[in-house]
Amino acid sequence: MTSHQHDPGEHGPAEDPARAGEDLAALLRRLVEEKPDKTPKDLATEAGVSYATLNAWMNRTRGTSRIKTETLRDLVRVLRDKWGLSVTPAEMFASVGRAVPGGSDEEREARLLRIYRELPVDKQRDVLKYADALLTVSRAS
């Protein structure tokens, strides 16, 4: 049995329109290429995604709009934490046209540290006093 072929300009259900920057297929291809001793099959196995699904995303034959949040985070964990590649949750979510839901712990901490470092010393002390007060209040609740 053959499937219906779309006209080249027609967007079918498995085709997501191009995003600003890299789409998921381009991002995953680039990152896997940066790790010559790894394959897409390795990524699928380590991230807990079926190889057929990952392969379909990389070949743009399956849409990416319904990928679970945790699956995107798992891909980042493998690529960044296990494989040592430079990728953030924000990049991964942007590649499927979504914002990172609620921000990850690492991103919030990094943002707080960036802001803290830009403050003058007296304001850094104020931040610490405020954080101590918040901690006291939250422990009392």
What's the pLDDT tens digit per position in 34-63? 999 999 999 999 999 999 999 999 999 999
pLDDT grade for 3, boundaries at 50, 70 and 90 = very low
- The CATH number covering residue 76 comes to 1.10.260
- Please state the domain count of the chain: 2
Residue 101 has pLDDT above 90, yes or no: no
Shared domain for 36 and 71, answered yes or no, is yes
Are 82 and 109 contained in the same domain?
Answer: no
> Does 68 have pLDDT greater than 70?
yes
What range does the domain containing 122 cover? 105-140
SS3 28: helix
Is position 40 within any domain? Answer: yes
Do 89 and 111 share a structural domain?
A: no
Give the single-character DSSP code of 4: P
Whether residue 79 is found in the same domain as residue 116: no
Report how far residue 35's alpha carbon sits from residue 84's, in angstroms, rounded to the nearest whole number: 9
85 falls within a domain: yes
Are 45 and 77 contacting, i.e. CB atoms less than 8 angstroms apart? no
Q: How many CB atoms lie within 10 A of CB 87?
A: 19
Q: Judge if 88 and 133 occupy the same domain.
A: no
Where residue 104 falls among pLDDT bands split at 50, 70, 90? low
> Does 28 share its domain with 83?
yes
Distances, alpha carbon 22 to alpha carbons 34, 63, 67, 91, 97, in Å: 15, 15, 16, 9, 10
Give 126's Cβ-side CA count (13 Å radius).
6
- Average pLDDT of the chain? 84
| Contacts with 90 (C-beta within 8 Å, 6 or more apart), sequence order | 99, 100, 107
Q: Residue 115 domain-assigned?
A: yes
Does residue 1 have a pLDDT over 70? no
Determine which of 56-70, 74-88, 91-105 has the lowest per-residue pLDDT on average: 91-105
